[in-house]
Amino acid sequence: MDRIAAIADAFIAARAAGTALDAFPLSQPETLDEAYRIQDREVDEIGAALPGWKIAGVRPDLRAALGAERVAGPITRLVDARRADGAVEVPVVAGGFAAAEAEFVLLLGRDLPPRAEGYAAEDLAAAVAAVHIGAEIAGSPLATLNDLGPTAVVSDHGNNAAIVIGPAIGDWRARPLESLTSRVAIDGATIGEGDAARVAGGPLAAFAFLVANLARRGRGLRAGDWISTGATTGVHVITPGSVATFDFGAAGAFEVRIVAQPRGA
């Protein structure tokens, strides 16, 4: 088995078994190109069940060396909080990494096949059927994944445990980004406040990045795909047993309980 396959398969197996990893398998990629080849194997393993994609920012001090301001990863689990009676549950690997992030999540209304020439910004905006309040529960079987940086994050399914979907925002096209506010509390204590303007260039800029990133990988998007556009209040580490509250003001709120994934599940 080659190096790319061995790293991908180690993450796939650890996630399936709910078992924490002590260290990055083999060795961490030095480039994002290699990291995306690992991720491509993981995405192929998810196959047609893939609900969509997440986007994350790259720390400013790492951008020049990596040649990227953002990274992408698959949504590994989609959780719908819209009709939940109380907190929805998201399992994470005990002893691994987990974080709560308030995000704005796009729902695509049309297919966007990969195109070498790309898409005009207005065509991408027109392809968005709805914008929902949402959350990413970042997660990995490797506790140090986020500290190891973007090539590690990309290598393990983009560091995603789940994207949680809340209600759609009624008039999002007319709303200034700063008016789309977000707040995260963990176990009742506010830990971060922000708004959609905290996503560099706004959620549609993150979407444009994703479309170009996927096209370079020979991938496109389909109507019905979900796209989570990046953290708006920060990356808030959370552990099993805690409840995160995501409050988007008039747009709605929901709660997520983090639970330990059963081993061998």
Ligand X SMILES: C[C@H](O)CC(=O)C(=O)O
Residues at the contact surface with ligand X, assessed by CB under 6 A: 56-57, 99, 101, 136, 138, 146, 153, 159, 230-231, 235
Q: What's at 67, amino acid-wise? A: G
Instruction: List Cα–Cα distances, 198 to 62, 125, 230, 237, in angstroms.
Output: 18, 19, 9, 19
Q: Least distance in Å: CB of 136 to ligand X? A: 5
Distance CA 251, CA 132 (A): 9
Q: Least distance in Å: CB of 97 to ligand X? A: 8
**How far is residue 40 CA from its own chain's centroid?**
15
Select 20 or 114, whichever has its Cβ closest to ligand X: 20
CA proximity to 67, closest of 55, 80, 58: 58
Select 114 or 193, whichever has its Cβ closest to ligand X: 193
Please identify the residue of the shown chain whose CB is closest to the bound ligand X: 56
Select 114 or 200, whichever has its Cβ closest to ligand X: 200
Select 114 or 143, whichever has its Cβ closest to ligand X: 143
Q: Least distance in Å: CB of 70 to ligand X? A: 9
Which spans in 87-182 are helix H?
Answer: 121-127, 145-148, 150-155
Q: Least distance in Å: CB of 132 to ligand X? A: 16
Distance CA 138, CA 14 (A): 16
